[in-house]
Amino acid sequence: MLSSKNNNVYSFRDNSPIFDELFPEDKRQKKQAQDDVVAKVKFAKIFIWSSEGLVQKELSDASNGTVFVKDTDIDTDIDTDIDTDIDTDIVLFRKLGSQWFTGNYVGFLSLGNDGSIEIYSRFEDENHKFAFINHMLNKIYDLNDLLLTKGGNNKTDINLDFLLKTTFLSKLRKAYREGEYKSYEKVYKNDTAPRGTIDIARHIKLNLCPENYKVAYSYNEYTSRNSYIYLVRLCYEMLFEKGKKPKGKEVDDLLFKSQDYWSYDKRQIIHKNENKPITSPLFKCHRDLQKFCLDVLKHKKMTLDSFGTENGKYGVLIDCAWLWEEHVATLLKDYFIHKTMSSKEKDCLFADEMGKPFQRIIPDYVGKNYLPVIADAKYMNLYGKRDLKDEQRNSVYYKTVMYMLRYQAKLGMIFYPSISEGDNAEENSLDTEEGIKPQENAEGSKTKANVARWSIESNDNSCNDKARSFHLISLNLNCLSSKNTNGKENTCKNVAVELSKAEDSFKRAVKESIESLNKILETTGKSTG
């Protein structure tokens, strides 16, 4: 574990002991440094990316050897998704014995006058801090900005523009899942087919010539093309005025419904939304999006300090497990349906004697088009590992196998990031005969997806199903390590390019695993088509 303390910048990896290598011998000094850092972690406002979207929380004081994240009722300039249903057991630091450890969260925390804390991924090194995190965020939100950037004196800081853009996209996606928001809007017309109320004054003004046979009138229409959707479009245009425009079904739907937004007075749109806020409990996410857009359009000059205390304390934390799952879902969207808590389909494990289902289950990924494949994403390095500890087996293997049984899947997959460990890895765990061959890139290095293929054993002689198998496929992140598998210094010039090559190899490995399954099923007359 690499850690450093430079100019009051405390740098740690996730899921690792803090100050473990900075004070390898002096345990007293290390303990004092750990306690000092933990004592300084007191924030008013922290933005957190997790399975619940982008939310705002507050760090609690250390108690019982744990620094938790809790809800906050502090008002902010920008309303965020403060959801009471979110899991509050978010651990930033945990004390085991006399040693403090980081949790599953990465990010940047400003301590004001006391410096800052940066927690980066265990799959990165100090030369590539947050490279993988920024890359995954860009893939998910289809942007090319950086959330965590290097400022003066090589210090990490937060890009406010990226924070606002991703907040908008997160809220837009959540609102989209609620369905269309419709309201009654007054429509003004002047044609030969009047309905509703005739506008005498406007008619006299527009139709002085009686030969045109037109009548000026107005009526109320229940439509999704309303002042609210135009407000969202205005916010979108302001945030994405420069740089890459995001894509996706939510954005496409917004652009289609609000294509005539330019013909409306912007001040009038803002005024209408201020006077007519969304109040229906059925459209909570639309209400949050409306508030956010109003605040952005009215507060163009916002700084990160405005989100913190008067001492400039603020932070951004990202749940790596959630980020990795979303990233894989983006990469493999052609093969899998990504299941989440908000998914409309509610699959259950059991059915009672009356046929009523219960015990809802949510696998990470289910194969598309009746593909008999179940997959799970794990933010842990499983490279070369076979026999896991009891608690890990339950989480990694048993759950996936149970999902395979429930969905009658022939293939179970687990996707994980890795930095290959060379001679220290169990090379015999990899299927070298069917494994993915390394590809030479432009620099001559090798980008490879590690694949371990295992069959599920059965003592039932009547079960002659040799197609049922279990694959572990890794996204190899050698470009984020200071040394490659050959022990030479890794001089990756463009991390994004190298990561994209690794992702291509990863997707190819998944595709070949599925195609291999189909070949086996074709021989038994069970092909997925």
Taking residues 76-105, report their average pLDDT: 60
pLDDT band at residue 426 under the 50/70/90 scheme? very low
Q: Does residue 136 have a pLDDT over 90?
A: yes
Q: Where are the domains of the chain?
A: 4-126+304-319, 174-298, 332-523
Q: What angle do CA 329, 101, 45 make, to 5 degrees?
A: 70
Tens-place pLDDT, residues 391-403: 777 778 888 888 8
pLDDT at 7: 60
Given a cut of 60, is residue 496 above it in pLDDT? yes
Predicted structure pTM score: 0.80
Q: Fill in the DSSP letter of residue 395.
A: I
- In terms of Cβ atoms closer than 10 Å to its own Cβ (0-12, 13-18, 19+), residue 222 is exposed
On whether the CB atoms of residues 155 and 340 are closer than 8 A, the answer is: no
Find the mean pLDDT for residues 286-306: 78
- pLDDT per position as a tens digit, 146-177: 888 876 666 788 888 888 898 899 899 889 98
Contacts 24+ apart (CB under 8 A), 493-501: 493/443, 495/128, 495/131, 495/135, 496/131, 496/135, 498/441, 498/447, 499/131, 499/132, 499/135, 501/439, 501/441, 501/447
At a CB cut-off of 8 Å and minimum separation 6, what does 350 contact? 357, 358, 359
- Name the pairing type of β-strands 46-50 and 315-319: parallel
pLDDT of residue 28: 73
Predicted local confidence at residue 421, as pLDDT: 53
Q: Please state the rounded mean pLDDT for residues 2-30.
A: 70
- pLDDT value at residue 479: 81
Residue 438 CA to residue 145 CA, distance in Å, equals 30
Higher pLDDT, 381 or 491: 381
Say whether pLDDT at 75 is over 60.
no
Over residues 199-211, the mean pLDDT reads 81
Is the Cβ–Cβ distance between 92 and 103 less than 8 Å? yes
Q: Is the pLDDT of residue 314 over 70?
A: yes
pLDDT tops 50 at residue 2: no
For residue range 435-456, list pLDDT tens digits in order: 333 333 333 344 567 888 777 7
Res 527 pLDDT > 70: no
Tell me whether strands 90-96 and 99-102 are parallel, antiparallel or unpaired.
antiparallel
Question: What pLDDT is stored for residue 324 in this prediction?
Answer: 94
Rg for the chain, CA atoms, rounded = 27
Please check the confidence at residue 387 and state whether its pLDDT lies above 60. Answer: yes
| Ranges 40-54, 137-151, 240-254, 349-363: which has the least confidence | 40-54
Other C-beta atoms closer than 10 Å to the C-beta of 489 total: 9
Q: What pLDDT shows up at residue 458? A: 61
Q: Is the pLDDT score of 81 beyond 50?
A: no
Higher-confidence residue: 311 or 522?
522
pLDDT at 430: 36
Mean pLDDT of 356-371: 84
Q: According to the model, what pLDDT value does residue 379 have?
A: 92
The rounded mean pLDDT for the chain is 77
Structure confidence at residue 79 as a pLDDT band (50, 70, 90): very low
Cα angle 104, 110, 113; round to 5: 145
pLDDT tier, 378 (very low <50, low <70, confident <90, very high otherwise): very high
- The model's pLDDT over 32-63, given as tens digits with 9 standing for 90+, comes to 777 777 777 766 567 887 776 677 776 665 55
Q: Please name the residue that has the structure tokens 């046929």.
A: 355
pLDDT over 60 (residue 198): yes
At residue 461, the pLDDT reads 53
Rounded mean pLDDT of 94-117?
Answer: 83
User: Token match 């460990």: residue?
Assistant: 421
